[in-house]
Amino acid sequence: KLSSKATRWCVIKDVFLYVFKSRKDATPLHCIPLHYYAALTLKMLKGPKALVLRRAYRRRFAAPSDAANIDFYLVQPDKEATVVEWLDALRRRCVLQSKVFGAPLAEVLERQQHRPPIPKAVETLVNWLEVNGVDACARLAVDAPDDAGLAYAGELKEQFDRGAKVDLSRCRQPRAVGYLLRSYFLELPEPLC
C-alpha cells in the first residue's frame, strides 16, 4: 500500500515525483509518473492547503509500477507558500490535466468533474459572450478576429490548456472569444453527435 502519514522528502524531476524516506536516501520509495495525474489544491481544516494528485482517467494503465494506478495522493507541505510553488511545478508536468483544446470531451469532463457537466472553458466563454457579445454569437460561423484578436485567442487557449484561471473581465474582443469557442468545438477529436 502506497500511503503514509510520515514526513517524506519529495523531488520533482522531469515528469516524475520521487518520494524518499529522508533527504539523505539515494533510492526513492516511490516514483509517481505525473503525466497520469491532475494537480489540485485542497483546503484543510488545520494547517496550510494540501496538494492532491488525482488520477486523470478512471481506466487502469499498463505502467511499470502500481504508482500510476493509485487513485490519488495527498501531499501537505508545512508552509502555504510551498503549496503554491509545488502546485505550479506539478501543473507544468501533469500533462493530462492541462489539455482542454483537442482533447476528447469525455476525458475533459472526467478530469474536471465540473458541475454542470460542461467543460470549464466552454462555460467561461459562453458566459462572457452572453453578457458582453451577444451579436458576436450570431457571427461565430462568419467573422474571424483581426490579428490582435487571433493573438489574444491564442493566449486564452494557452491559459485554458495550462489549467490557469482565465479572467475575461477586461476582455473587449467578442470576436476573439467567439472564435475561441468555435475553435474548441472544431478541435474536438470526435463529433458531438
Residue 125, all three cell numbers: 466563454
DSSP states of 81-131 as a string?
A: HHHHHHHHHHHHH-HHHH--TTS-HHHHHHHH--SSSS-HHHHHHHHHHHH
Percent of the chain residues topping a pLDDT of 90:
10
3-state helix, strand, coil in the chain (%, to 5): 40, 15, 45
Going by pLDDT thresholds of 50, 70 and 90, the confidence category of residue 8 is confident
Q: Tell me which residue of 53, 42, 54 sits closest to 80, measured CA to CA.
A: 42
| Position 155 pLDDT exceeds 60 | yes
User: From CA 51, how far away is CA 171, in angstroms rounded?
Assistant: 31
The C-alpha atoms of residue 163 and residue 40 are separated, in whole angstroms, by: 10
How many percent of the chain have pLDDT more than 70? 81
In whole numbers, what is the pLDDT of the chain averaged over residues?
78
- pLDDT tens-digit series, residues 108-138: 887 777 677 889 899 999 999 888 866 655 5
What is the pTM for the complete model shown?
Answer: 0.52
Answer whether 124's CB lies under 8 Å from 177's CB.
no
State how far the Cα of 80 lies from the Cα of 65, in Å rounded to an integer: 31
Is the confidence at residue 2, as pLDDT, over 50?
Answer: no
Confidence of residue 25 (pLDDT cuts 50, 70, 90): very high
- Please compute the mean of the pLDDT values over residues 78-95 and round it to a whole number: 76
Q: What is the mean pLDDT of residues 136-157?
A: 75
